[in-house]
Amino acid sequence: MAADEPEAGHYLAGLRLAGRKVVVVGGGSVAQRRLPNLLAAQARVVVVAIDPTPAVEANPLVEVVRRPYADGDLDGAWYAIACTDDPAVNAAVADEAQRRRIFCVRADDARSGTAVTPASARHDGLAVGVLASGDHRRSAQVRDRLLAALEHSASPSTPPEGPHAPGVALVGGGPGAPDLITVRGRALLQRADVVVADRLAPAELLAGLRPDVEVIDAAKVPYGRAIRQEKINEILVDRARAGRFVVRLKGGDPYVFGRGFEEVQACVEAGVPVTVVPGVTSAISAPALAGIPVTHRGITHEVVIVSGHVAPDHPDSLTDWPELGRLAGTIVLMMGVDRLDEFAAALIDGGRDGQTPVAMIENASLPTQRLLRSALVDAPAVAREEGLRPPAIIVIGAVAGFLEGAAEAE
Ligand code: SAH
């Protein structure tokens, strides 16, 4: 590209490619990177390539023609991308495109093509594309900044990007750090008129809400445990029926010991539109944040996530603790701090080795995160001595001994 030759500006257009043939000549990394957006636009993509990458070849939505490009391959195409590693082939593709008046991108020499690919992104119904006269690094940087600005427009001083339709979104907030919510969850939170938050919902996210958002602390809804859930369901339904968009913000994932499904049922019964946004559950992420993989090849082929909200011998318990004691894999115990002695005893009675490593992770992902380690038989005493407090995840199994200083577990 001659630097002294001023380039005419590009005319930006959005192409409707659904059902239309797009020919990509070349099957390497450039093709691989272009395919997702073409397929998202539902284009009928034909890749002509001698040696396509496995990802291109294995893509079931793409027709792969495994041979060298031949004149005529662009027949019937609306758009073409020439991205082989052979400039002569790319030039030939561009020539054919020119003859047939098909817009064509030349990956190796942008100016010789009749179209260029913008740095692009999608956000909440928007398509953002940036062209920077061939300066790819700049266009990608600007795209990233635009996207970050769109994603961060939740600050109290910034208005939301327009109202959301009334209804309820059950959003998993992740284990507690404000940046461990999903992108989708945060986008919906930014549009909420009402936020009903659990005790374990990331507090910093609430601090970032606009002042006009009504925040209801579900933990403070009065009455006993059972009635409280009914009251919360009622609040969700009533607010949504009043035409407001309600985000029910929960810690971790809404469906992992979060009673999320009860709330979905209540909304469905009331005819209120409801959607669920999964979250990063503390069951998996608290161990990960402490450096513990819940599975490891050759060590464990199972993870059992168990609630400790009732004692092992309680009539309401649905857990077969003797069976769990026979398990060799990983056990993740949630809500287990207060009765850890009973759970440890039940597992050992069931056959689990008392020397099995245990890791206890308190306040995972928060500045107060703390990790305690011991053998299973000593875990209740260690927890007591160190003053372990909920919320904590207790990991039982060989993977809990993977940390540095594993000898302490002996
Ligand atoms: N739905 C949540 C779990 C709710 S039950 C999720 O998917 O994570 C509450 C239990 O979750 C707590 O008793 C504790 O065991 C665990 N927990 C939640 N947040 C935690 C955190 N930041 N650190 C450690 N444990 C946590």
Catalytic residues: 198, 220
At 311, the pLDDT band (50, 70, 90 cuts) reads very high
The reply to whether ligand 1 has any atom less than 6 angstroms from the CB of 361 is: yes
Nearest CA to ligand 1 atom 24: 392
Q: Render the burial of 221-254: b for 16+ CB within 10 Å, e for the rest.
A: beeeeeeebeebbebbbebbeeebbbbbbbbbbb
Q: In angstroms, rounded to a whole number, what is the distance separating the alpha carbons of residues 217 and 401?
A: 38
Instruction: Confirm or reject: Cβ of 374 under 6 Å from ligand 1.
Output: no
What pLDDT is recorded for position 9?
85
127 alpha carbon – ligand 1 mean position (Å): 36
Query: What's CA 79's distance to the chain center, in Å?
Result: 33
In whole angstroms, what is the distance from residue 93 CA to residue 115 CA?
13
Is 285's C-beta closer than 6 angstroms to any atom of ligand 1? no
CATH superfamily label, 21-117: NAD(P)-binding Rossmann-like Domain (3.40.50.720)
Ligand 1 binding pocket mutation candidate from 200, 255, 310, 395 (most atoms within 8 A of CB): 200
Sheet holding 245-250, edge to edge: 214-217, 194-197, 245-250, 167-172, 274-277
Please tell me the distance from the alpha carbon of residue 322 to that of residue 410, in angstroms, as a whole number. 24
Residue 38's closest CA among 83, 95, 96?
A: 83
Q: For residue 123, how far is its CA from the centre of ligand 1 (angstroms)?
A: 30
- Mean pLDDT score of the chain, rounded to an integer? 92
Q: How confident is the model at residue 6 (pLDDT cuts 50, 70, 90)?
A: low
CATH of domain 162-277: 3.40.1010.10
Whether 394 is in the pocket of ligand 1, judged by its Cβ within 6 Å, is: no
At 169-207, the pLDDT tens digits run 999 999 999 999 999 999 999 999 999 999 999 999 998
DSSP 256-324: SSS-HHHHHHHHHHHT--EEEE----HHHHHHHHTT--S-BTTTBS-EEEEE-SS-TT-TT----HHHH
Ligand 1 site, residue 365, Cβ cutoff 6 A: yes
Residue 405 confidence (pLDDT) above 80? no
Ligand 1 centroid to Cα of residue 288, in Å, is 13
Determine whether the shortest distance from the Cβ of 340 to ligand 1 is under 6 A: no
CA of 405 to the centre of ligand 1 (A): 26
For the Cβ of 160 lying below 6 angstroms from any atom of ligand 1, the answer is no
- Rounded mean pLDDT of 316-326? 96
Token pair recorded at residue 187:
């986008």
- Ligand 1: nearest atom to the Cα of 260: 1
Three-state SS at 139: helix
Equal fold, 21-117 vs 162-277? no
Between strands 392-396 and 357-362, the pairing is antiparallel
**pLDDT-derived band of residue 4, with 50, 70 and 90 as boundaries?**
low
Residue 362 CA to ligand 1 center (angstroms) comes to: 9
pLDDT single digits (tens) 254-287:
999 999 999 999 999 999 999 999 999 999 999 9
Q: Which atom belonging to ligand 1 lies closest to the Cα atom of 390?
A: 13
Rounded CA separation 178/239 (Å) = 25
Ligand 1 neighbour 257 (Cβ under 6 A): yes
State the average pLDDT over residues 384-404. 93
Percent of the chain's residues with pLDDT above 90: 81
Q: What is the pLDDT of residue 150?
A: 84
Task: Report which ligand 1 atom has the smallest distance to the Cα of 285.
Answer: 8
Buried b (16+ CB within 10 A) or exposed e, 10-25: eeeeeeebeebbbbbb
Q: Ligand 1 centre and the CA of 104: distance in Å?
A: 53
Counting beta carbons within 10 angstroms of the beta carbon of residue 373, is it exposed (0 to 12), middle (13 to 18) or buried (19 or more)? buried
Asked if the bond preceding 391 is cis, omega within 30° of 0, the reply is: yes
How far, in Å, is the centroid of ligand 1 from the Cα of 35?
39
Q: How far apart are CA 318 and CA 203, in angstroms?
A: 32
Question: Is residue 270 exposed (0-12), middle (13-18) or buried (19+ Cβ within 10 Å)?
Answer: middle
Question: What is the per-residue pLDDT for 404?
Answer: 56
251 contacts 258 by C-beta, under 8 angstroms: yes
Determine the residue of 229, 249, 307, 393 to mutate for testing ligand 1's pocket, defined as the one with the most ligand atoms within 8 A of the Cβ atom.
393
Which of 282, 337, 362 has most ligand 1 atoms within 8 Å of CB, for mutation? 282
Taking the domains of the chain in order of start, what are their residue ranges? 21-117, 120-160, 162-277, 283-401
CA of 363, closest atom in ligand 1 = 23
Ligand 1 atom nearest residue 394's Cα: 15
Which pLDDT does position 125 carry in this prediction?
84
Cβ-in-10-Å burial (0-12, 13-18, 19+) of 281 comes to buried
Name all contacts of 290-295 with Cβ < 8 Å and 24+ positions apart: 290/359, 290/361, 290/364, 290/369, 290/371, 290/403, 291/402, 291/403, 292/359, 292/361, 292/395, 292/399, 292/400, 292/402, 292/403, 293/399, 293/402, 294/330, 294/332, 294/395, 294/399, 295/330, 295/399
Prediction pTM value: 0.79
Contacts of residue 44, Cβ cutoff 8 Å, sequence gap at least 6: 19, 20, 21, 22, 63
pLDDT digits (tens, 9 = 90+) for 235-247: 999 999 999 999 9
Alpha helices in 9-135 (DSSP H): 29-40, 54-57, 87-100
Sequence letter at residue 330: T
According to CATH, the topology of domain 283-401 is 3.30.950
Q: How far apart are CA 79 and CA 93, in angstroms?
A: 11
